[in-house]
Amino acid sequence: MIKIVSFSGGLGNQLFQYLLVVYLRECGHQVYGYYNRKWLIGHNGLEVNNVFDIYLPKTNFIVNALVKVIRVLRCLGFKKYVATDTYNNPIAIFYDGYWQDQKYFNIIDSKLSFKKFDLSAENKSILSKIKSNISVALHIRCGDYLSSSNVEIYGGVCTKEYYEKALELVCEIKNVMFFVFSDDIEYAKLLLNLPNAIYVNANVGNSSFIDMYLMANCKVNVIANSTFSYWAARLNQDNILTIYPKKWYNSKYAVPDIFPSEWVGV
């Protein structure tokens, strides 16, 4: 049966969507992609295939035309051929959502690997320090989480108290070195009292994915309620501890079932 998976959001969400593609393929379906530029414009566009060694599903004008028809029918109340995060319709053709659920990827996420890419001299130096120390990655997400459309859902979850509790656990490990990643480094410096920390601010725009790569090489990950740092920790091959916020949203949405049992919720 033909399935069409829509790609939207940033790199972390695109990873979830790609893994749904893999899941549907392994269920025997022929899968196509739907790449609406308007749905991808908020971050760096479609980038998951540039960062990871993967093959995205093909698309064509027939697929795009079919999605337009399905979307019109959906607006008219006919949702027979649509699946969403909250409505997983088994006869769906069009899959529109983020698919944050381990049942779609718990076994297959090991198939994800970063592409080989050149690092700047600054990033090479940071990576060397990360690998030669008991490195702790702390991710503080601001940016779009503070926009009027997102703040009520995502804002104010990873508070100063969250990071303080996480640091109490981290400091049980001796001789750690902190690496702070954020889209607002000045705010991160005010939030955390870590005078000897390395604040990573070299990667912006189209190179921001390198922060995910660097975090994925640290020994400890303290993540935000963000799929970006979630995947950094999930793809980490050397990790000894991951701390995540047990509260993921400020809204009616349930906490997604995406956290390995060995991770520590705060």
Closest CA to 112 of 205, 17, 41: 17
Mean pLDDT taken over the chain: 89
For 145, the 3-state DSSP assignment is: helix
Mean pLDDT of 195-201: 90
Least confident among 28-37, 86-95, 172-181 = 86-95
Summarize the confidence of residues 12-16 as an average pLDDT: 95
Q: The tokens of 118 are what?
A: 């050149």
pTM, full prediction = 0.92
Among the listed ranges 82-96, 135-149, 159-173, which one has the minimum average pLDDT value? Answer: 135-149
pLDDT digits 0-9 by tens, 152-166: 555 566 788 999 999
Per-residue pLDDT at 145 exceeds 50: no
Is residue 48 scored above 50 in pLDDT?
yes
Are 182 and 188 a contacting pair, CB within 8 Å?
Answer: yes
Tell me, rounded to whole angstroms, the distance of Cα 90 from its chain centroid: 26
DSSP per position, 1-61:
-EEEEE--SSHHHHHHHHHHHHHHHHTT-EEEEE--HHHHTTTTSS-HHHHBS--PPP--H
